[in-house]
Amino acid sequence: MTKARMSKDRLKSLFETLKGDYRIVGPKIVQGTVILNEIDFDDMPAGSRDRQGPGTYRIDRAGSSDIFSFSVGPHSFKQFLLPSVQETLAFKKSKKGISVNRVLVREKPIAFIGVRACDIAALRLLDKIFLEGPVVDPFYEDKRKDIVIIAVNCLYPGENCFCDSMGTGPEATSGFDIALTEFGDDFFLEIGTAEGEEILDGIPLKEVDDRDIEEKGAAIFRCKEMIRKAMKTADLPGILYRNLEHPRWDEIASRDLECGNCTMVCPTCFCNSSYDRLPISGISSDLTERSGMRVRTWDSCFSKNFARVHGGNFRPSRRARYRHWMTHKLAYWIDQFGSPGCVGCGRCITWCPVGIDITHELEELRIVR
């Protein structure tokens, strides 16, 4: 892996290099929140610091000289590779028959800037589901191909982050084209692909030495020292299977609003539903022709209707729905893919209106009652 240093004032040149061939998606403050959006260089929330807690999120203008002085917000790759609303099929019925065509919207590939290690880990999990299984999802595949990932090693973890204990961060070690670590007036660069080298071609870079590598290691170590949350994973998935009737599930259900916020912000939740949209304008006056769209939307296992099938509902209670979500993340996923479905980003804790903390709830399941 090639290593180099780049002056921070060259970051704007990197934007200029990318914007001709890519849609640049990166961090931007909208309504007091760091989200991911299509951005220009001037949209970067440099010097901002987020303060997170269970059910709380605030942005401070910390006045830091660092550009990436904030941690993850509610958005991840998911918003762009698995849109919340997506037309998948167009169908038409006429006297001549029925036609059904896949809807693939051709767009510029995306260059993601400021991606954290936990989200790269989440992307690997989504790839397993949508690209590496027995059926490849063509819509995910179409958006996933040709993307560029410019990662940032975390130096300022959020108060709800626990990536270190999940083995998913704070350092990005693979899965990127370029990784940045902030060093005063410079970025320490790690170039992971030929595409990354091509993007940096023409941008003045400096050579690195052993002191630079040591400085980068020390910065990552300091970040790990600041992480306050952790999840004990040694006894997963067994701890959950042994406690499916634990009374703690009832206590969680008494607080849970079943709003689905945790599933919306989770970078690995992928539950979805589809419906057919048949607009009045798609029906001929003599009713001989009809046209419409199949639409895929995000859904949530916290929704009462998600588990409703002919004959009843196999998760009728709030207790059952929360238990399923947590057990899926920390048990079923391990059985199926060999690793948890949680990457330790902490978003579910921050964006839960009542501050339910998955790391705390797992500890409560270890208490015999």
DSSP string, 166-213: HT--SS--SS-SEEEEEETTEEEEEE-SHHHHHHHTTS--B---HHHH
Instruction: Give, in degrees to the nearest 5, the angle at Cα 364 between 119 and 356.
Output: 50
- Tens digit of each residue's pLDDT, the chain (369 residues): 799 999 999 999 999 999 989 999 999 999 999 999 999 999 999 989 999 999 999 998 766 788 999 999 999 999 999 999 999 999 998 888 899 999 988 889 999 999 999 999 999 999 999 999 899 999 999 999 999 999 999 999 999 999 999 999 999 999 999 999 998 899 999 999 999 999 999 899 999 999 999 999 999 999 999 999 999 999 999 999 999 999 999 999 999 999 999 999 999 999 999 999 988 877 777 777 888 999 999 999 999 999 888 888 989 999 999 999 999 999 999 999 999 999 999 999 999 999 999 999 999 999 876
Q: Report residue 109 as tokens.
A: 């590939």
Q: Report residue 154 as tokens.
A: 């975390």
- 358-365 helix and 318-327 helix, angle to the nearest 10 degrees: 100
Query: Would you state the pLDDT for residue 62?
Result: 65
| Single-letter amino acid, residue 216 | K
Find, among 82, 77, 79, the residue nearest to 176 by Cα: 77
Rounded to an integer, what distance in angstroms lies between the CA atom of residue 98 and that of residue 100? 7
The residues pairing with 328 across neighbouring beta strands, listed in sequence order, are none
User: 13: burial class by Cβ within 10 Å (0-12, 13-18, 19+)?
Assistant: middle
Whether residue 183 contacts residue 5, with contact meaning beta carbons closer than 8 Å, is answered with yes
CB atoms within 10 A of CB 148: 23
Rounded to an integer, what distance in angstroms lies between the CA atom of residue 219 and that of residue 68? 13
User: 77: burial class by Cβ within 10 Å (0-12, 13-18, 19+)?
Assistant: buried
pTM for this model (two decimals):
0.92
Pairing verdict, β 23-30 and 33-38: antiparallel
Buried-exposed string 250-285: b where 16+ CB fall within 10 A, e elsewhere: eebbeebeeebbbbbbbbbbbbeeeeeeeeeebeee
Query: Would you state the pLDDT for residue 285?
Result: 74
For residue 343, give Cα distances in angstroms to 125, 170, 180, 330.
9, 11, 20, 10
Helix or strand (DSSP H, E) at 34: strand 33-38
334 SS3 class? helix
Rounded to an integer, what distance in angstroms lies between the CA atom of residue 101 and that of residue 63? 52
Rounded to an integer, what distance in angstroms lies between the CA atom of residue 114 and that of residue 24? 11
Find, among 154, 151, 156, 190, the residue nearest to 169 by Cα: 154
